[in-house]
Chain A
């Protein structure tokens, strides 16, 4: 799993690539939390375009980051999930709390 941060029209974008499971979730959580706390972005979009696998560990990761960014006054967005990731997102009902583009 690889994480690249970039900024587009004032939105912070976290581009993930590779497989998102419990094994890599902890490192990813630390890196994203550090980014949120240091930069306090208004909007943080997590781009799933290049994520080739995700299980429910990804749901835990999204819920945790959504909670932190809300506490910091920002909003989390999910972008470009592939169909197989959409199925896990749908099952979790997460679209009720996080916007998915």
Chain B
């Protein structure tokens, strides 16, 4: 992995930090001159992953969320979002569209679908009782200039 630039930050699992994560990731990624659509895709995917950590990983508890954002050679953005929450028993099932374990919170079960379709690659690693790590990659288009 040829890393051109990188930021790491840790936030408590407060819902207000869904917006914080989006803002920090956006201002880092903007150096690679993404299109409006690419930046919006990345912001949305980050928001979904951080919300999952808060709503599912740390449901009724609190903890820390670690974010790593890298700009890789070849205009590729790498994002890793890691929590130490309750983990996911069945990752495959959790990734099925419309599957949710929090209907009372009006979760639509679309978080992973959004991450999958707005990013190029999505990897979810989870261990029940230990936490979940979501890794996403997106290659930015080369545009004029």
B19 to chain A: which residues have CB within 8 Å?
19, 21, 23
Q: How large is the interface on A (under 10, 10 to 19, 20 to 34, 35 or more residues)?
A: 20 to 34
Q: How far is the CA of A53 from the CA of B111 in the complex (A)?
A: 15
Q: Are A56 and B55 in contact (CB under 8 A)?
A: no
Q: Indicate whether B106 reaches chain A with its CB closer than 8 angstroms.
A: yes
Q: How large is the interface on B (under 10, 10 to 19, 20 to 34, 35 or more residues)?
A: 20 to 34
Q: What are the 6 A-B residue pairs with the smallest beta carbon separation, nearest first?
A: A60-B106, A23-B15, A56-B110, A84-B40, A59-B108, A60-B108
B44 to chain A: which residues have CB within 8 Å?
53-55, 84, 88
Q: Are A88 and B114 in contact (CB under 8 A)?
A: yes
Known: A23-B18, A88-B114, A91-B117. A56 touches B48 (CB 8 A): yes
Q: Summarize A's interface: helix, strand, loop or mixed.
A: helix
Q: How far is the CA of A2 from the CA of B110 in the complex (A)?
A: 24
A/B interface sample: 19 pairs, CB < 8 A:
A19-B19, A19-B22, A21-B19, A21-B51, A22-B105, A23-B16, A25-B106, A53-B22, A55-B48, A56-B108, A56-B111, A59-B108, A60-B106, A60-B107, A61-B106, A63-B106, A91-B117, A92-B108, A92-B110
Q: How far is the CA of A57 from the CA of B106 in the complex (A)?
A: 8
Q: State the A residues within 8 Å of B (CB).
A: 19, 21-23, 25, 29, 53-57, 59-61, 63-64, 83-84, 87-88, 91-92
Contact with A along B31-58 (1 / 0, CB 8 A): 0000011001001100110010011000
